[in-house]
Amino acid sequence: MEASAGADHPHGEQSDTHGDLLMAPEQMLDLARRAAELLVERNESLSADDAWDGEFREGLAPVLAGEPPEEGRPAAEVLERAAREILPYAARLDHPRSFGFVPTSPTWPGVLADFMAAGYTINVATWLTASGPSQVELAVIDWFRRWLGYPEEAAGLFTSGGSAASVDAFVAGREAAGNPERATVYMSDQSHVALRRAAMIIGVPPESVRTIPTDDEFRLDMDALRRAVADDRAAGFNPIIVSANAGATATGAIDPLEAMADYCESEGIWLHVDAAYGGFAVVTEEGSGLLRGIERADSIGLDAHKWFFQPYEAGCLLVKDASTLQDVFGIRPDILQDTIWGANHPNFADRGIQISRSFRALKVWMSVQVFGMAAFRRAVSRGMELATRAEAYVRASPVLEVMSPASLGVICFRVKPEDSAMTEEAIEQANRNVLARVFWEEPALMSSTMLRGTFSLRLCILNHTTTWDDVRETLEAIERFGREAIAAP
């Protein structure tokens, strides 16, 4: 749009600012080429670098704070600054030894898809604004639907991540229950905080979220769930949602999905399955066996930015019955009245909390087109295999002990005490020391968690470039540090 020009311009002269924010095609290409070069160089040197780098605020703020410049600077210089002064100071989550938290390891077509989608200025709010992209989002959601074993009437949408997916799911669950007063929500003591937050967002306060205990393998205890629901009903509460884990973040634990589905069906309670990190195991034979029953849930959240090798953000929610989302979120404002093309042309803005939406499905679509599903299946299997091998290594180690067995690419363990006289406090301190030494002295990034109050080291092995040597050498370092930590308390 032309900027208005005239007498009221601060400089009192005719001004035509058209084009101030444009670049010449040659310069665009040069910059894009340079950006691509920087990324490819970074990826080439990735495994030789450490999995983590970072800096304290005192170090960063002097370089990266201050007023924005009034006049622009040379673009190549700005790009180099980003590549030199900003982007390296972060965890390299796609490093082959990035085992902390839940990492991702994006494929290049996925990265380029984000670039293309941004460059084409795609807004997947409505069919009218984005028919091709909407069709691809439908198609990719349909892949996920079939992998999960959901029926034809199932539908879904891409979200920023698992947190947003659980909010959308919980809103649908609450409305399906008729939005009753004194609503209660159930989840295990291993459930992700995102689910507690989702409950709070839909108006179920923390004191109405029932934390159900888990068994030896951190799976929700069905009897405890039955008792909690029965007690709540007797006390006048209205149970509306049960949330199951299909890959709890700390341990990879999978709740008894079939039993939970049976129970929720008989009680008329919405069953959500949080499969944010673990869900894509369904593309493998082993994983789909482990997650059997997931297809009976009313809603499933899963993150392609975890175990499906995509850049952030690529969360996803599927519901078994499309109308449960559409009835809740399909509010048609007058401003969008031109976009209603009927049921066969869904507007993704009618399925969740976002109206303007980036085209996240493209990254999944492009990377699967390029590599094919066989490669994705192998890549997902690899994480499970490596975690199982890590478990065997830990079991055979004189220094380490398993805290939770390998499940969906996650294993928890710790350095064990040499003699039984060592206090729990001293064992924890020794393990914290080991974690710190891995952090500062090893190229690997590992994190820890508390399992029923006990400090535990944890490896999450999901990266498609990770080799057994990466895992073994990290475990060897942990053993080495462990011996020293235990010997010198």
Ligand X SMILES: *Cc1c(COP(=O)(O)O)cnc(C)c1O
Looking at the Cβ atoms of 35 and 451, the one nearer to ligand X is 451
Q: How far is the CB of 246 from ligand X (least distance, A)?
A: 8
The mark string for 218-247 relative to ligand X (x by CB under 6 A, - otherwise) is -----------------------------x
Smallest gap from Cβ 44 to ligand X, in A, equals 28
Can residue 100 be called a binding residue for ligand X (CB under 6 A)? no
Name which of 187 and 430 has its Cβ closer to ligand X: 187
Nearest to 438 by CA among 388, 387, 400: 400
Q: Does 394 bind ligand X (CB under 6 A)?
A: no
Q: What is the DSSP letter of 129?
A: T
Residue 161 makes contact with ligand X by CB under 6 A: yes
Residue from 105, 126, 129, 163 binding ligand X (CB under 6 A): 163
**Separation of first and last alpha carbons in the chain:** 70
Helices 193-201 and 162-176 cross at an angle (nearest 10°) of 40
Q: Rounded distance, CA 381 to CA 338, Å?
A: 46
Residues comprising the chain, all counted? 489
Q: What is the closest distance, in whole angstroms, from the C-beta atom of residue 377 to ligand X in the complex?
A: 21
Q: At what angle do helices 361-371 and 108-119 cross, to 10 degrees?
A: 140
Of 138, 148, 194, 477, which one interacts with ligand X (CB under 6 A)? 194
Residue from 129, 188, 249, 310 in contact with ligand X (CB under 6 A): 249
CA–CA separation, 37 and 60 (whole Å):
25
What mask of x and - would describe binding to ligand X in positions 121 to 160, judged by CB under 6 A?
----------------------------------------
Q: For residue 487, give both structure tokens.
A: 């010997």
Sheet architecture: strand order including 270-274: 155-159, 315-319, 299-303, 270-274, 238-245, 183-188, 209-212
> What mask of x and - would describe binding to ligand X in positions 52 to 91, judged by CB under 6 A?
----------------------------------------
Instruction: Name the residue nearer to ligand X (CB basis): 245 or 397.
Output: 245
Near ligand X in 256-315, by CB under 6 A? 274, 276-277, 303, 315
Are 38 and 79 within 8 A, CB to CB?
A: yes
Nearer to ligand X, 253 or 485 (CB): 253
Among 102, 171, 183, 319, binds ligand X (CB under 6 A): 102
Give the angle 291-187-290 at the CA atoms, nearest 5°.
10
What are the helix (H) ranges across 321-467?
322-329, 361-371, 373-396, 424-441
Binding stretches for ligand X (CB under 6 A): 102, 161-163, 192, 194, 247, 249, 274, 276-277, 303, 315
